[in-house]
Amino acid sequence: MLDLRTIRDHAAAIGERLGTKVSDADVTGVLAVDRRRRDLVAEVESLKNQRNVASKELGRKKKNGEDTAGDQVTLRELGDRIKDLDQEVRDVEVTLNDALLRLPNLPHESAPVGSGEADNLLIRTHGSPGEFDFEPKPHWDIGEALGILDFERAARMSGSGFAMLMGEGARLQRALIRFMLDVHTREHGYLEVAPPYLVNDAAMTGTGQLPKMAEDMYRADADGLWLIPTAEVPVTNYYREEVIDDPLPVYLTAHTPCFRREAGAAGRDTRGMIRVHQFEKVEMVKFVDPESSYRELETLVADAEDILQRLGLCYRVVELCTSDLSFAAAKCYDIELWAAGQQRWLEVSSCSNFEDFQARRANIRFRDESGKTKFVHTLNGSGVALPRLIVAILENFQQADGSVVIPEAIRHYMDGQQRIG
């Protein structure tokens, strides 16, 4: 959530910056509702002063035995008007809060201004796409031939956009999860947590999924809870409505399933595991001092890159332009894996700095050196998402005989197994 006072003081500049991110940021509407609220509050305070004066006059007249009928009518009328205005103030405050919640975060000044994917900046590439002496296959053909992916039965029970990992495919996923959690906790300094997979409206609002993106989420209507779209939601809300007593920075990591109503472009990403409604992911979340948050963003990216480097995968890091930034992000890097079977790059991690945007919504604070409470800066990144990681392993390490070489970094999680075949 953006600071209302800052919006008042810098409305034109904020409107211009938000305009590089989205086309429907209604800064003018927010200010109009804010002015209405302030006018109502001023009117209420004026009426309350009038009531105090009238009440004193009524007391004086009663003491002197004077007629007070007219004063009592005036006091009742003032009381009724104040009651009506108090309710109107509450209604306007709800409207104002909703309008503020719908404003996206400001892009950081260093984020490249752009109108789409073509304006994203390539930061670096690690490794190079492998060369094959045969025509590499896409993962859906590889997985089905090996008996480790089953899309037909998953669709039969759940519809399109779901997949089943079978046998060594499920074992590969489990090995990757253990590997990533071990690296993040033992070497990168994260504390592993196992959060709930269902959260309430307040948690979803705190990280920015509500109210803007409700249609992209799955809701358990009977309980009023939401299936988490990412572990970012419950892990970030760990400190909701708190002043963090732990020394900053705080690093948390979690493995969870994720549930999203993914809607790819027509005819694109509909095959295989590229865009699915349920998937596994290892997430990294940071709570940091505002002074260090952009340095922390770079180390967050490095932590995700380390996973891919150890697996021997070719990837690239791309900085997102303003229009490609998520609703809550001020700055974001995407990490994309090369998929040889499809001859394309696939995003496997987004590492974002939200500054104090989420902290304001969730009221997460810390004490600075002087003891003053301030909003913390939050960051998160995938460390990493499993479906596209598995896709990259299957497609880049496939062999001419149809088998797939298991990356050396995870073989001991698979009892030394070197190939799936």
Q: Please give, one letter per residue, the 3-state secondary structure of the chain.
A: CCCHHHHHHCHHHHHHHHHCCCCCCCHHHHHHHHHHHHHHHHHHHHHHHHHHHHHHHHHHHHHHCCCCHHHHHHHHHHHHHHHHHHHHHHHHHHHHHHHHHCCCCCCCCCCCCCCCHHHCEEEEEECCCCCCCCCCCCHHHHHHHHCCEEHHHHHHHHCCCCCEECCHHHHHHHHHHHHHHHHHHHCCCCEECCCCCEECHHHHHHHCCCCCCHHHCCEECCCCEEECCCCHHHHHHHHCCEEECCCCCEEEEEEEEEECCCCCCCCCCCCCCCCCCEEEEEEEEEEECHHHHHHHHHHHHHHHHHHHHHCCCCEEEEECCHHHCCCCCCEEEEEEEEECCCCEEEEEEEEEECCCHHHHHHCEEEECCCCCEEECEEEEEEEEEHHHHHHHHHHHCECCCCCEECCHHHHHHHCCCCEEC
Residue 205 in contact with residue 361, Cβ under 8 Å?
Answer: yes
Number of domains in the chain: 2
Residue 375 in contact with residue 360, Cβ under 8 Å?
Answer: yes
Residues 54-61: what's their mean pLDDT? 91
Split at pLDDT 50, 70, 90, the class of 160 is very high
Q: Residue 33's domain spans which residues?
A: 4-101
110 occurs within a structural domain: no
239 occurs within a structural domain: yes
108 occurs within a structural domain: no
**pTM, rounded to two decimals:** 0.93
Report the pLDDT value the prediction gives residue 270, as an integer from 0 to 100. 72
Query: Mean pLDDT, the chain, as a whole number?
Result: 96
CATH at residue 139? 3.30.930.10
Question: 382 and 409 share a domain?
Answer: yes
CATH at residue 75? 1.10.287.40
Task: Give the tokens for residue 133.
Answer: 């002496």
Summarize pLDDT for 261-308 with one digit per residue, the tens: 976 544 456 789 999 999 999 999 999 999 999 999 999 999 999 999
* 210: CB partners within 8 A, 6+ apart: 101, 201, 204
Question: 180 and 324 share a domain?
Answer: yes
Question: 72 and 41 share a domain?
Answer: yes
Question: 76 and 144 share a domain?
Answer: no
Report the pLDDT value the prediction gives residue 27, as an integer from 0 to 100. 97
111 occurs within a structural domain: no
109 occurs within a structural domain: no
Portion of the chain with pLDDT greater than 90, in percent: 94
Summarize pLDDT for 217-239 with one digit per residue, the tens: 999 988 899 999 999 999 999 99
Report the pLDDT value the prediction gives residue 269, as an integer from 0 to 100. 65
Residue 414 in contact with residue 175, Cβ under 8 Å?
Answer: yes
32 occurs within a structural domain: yes
Question: 253 and 134 share a domain?
Answer: yes
Report the pLDDT value the prediction gives residue 268, as an integer from 0 to 100. 57
Question: 12 and 140 share a domain?
Answer: no
Report the pLDDT value the prediction gives residue 336, as an integer from 0 to 100. 98
112 occurs within a structural domain: no
Question: 182 and 38 share a domain?
Answer: no
Residues 166-183: what's their mean pLDDT? 98
- The residues with which 199 forms a beta bridge, in sequence order, are 226
CA neighbor of 381 nearest in space, from 316, 300, 288: 300
Cβ count near 346 (within 10 Å): 21
Q: Which of 101, 129, 149 is the last residue of a domain?
A: 101
Summarize pLDDT for 93-102 with one digit per residue, the tens: 999 999 999 9
Report the pLDDT value the prediction gives residue 266, as an integer from 0 to 100. 42
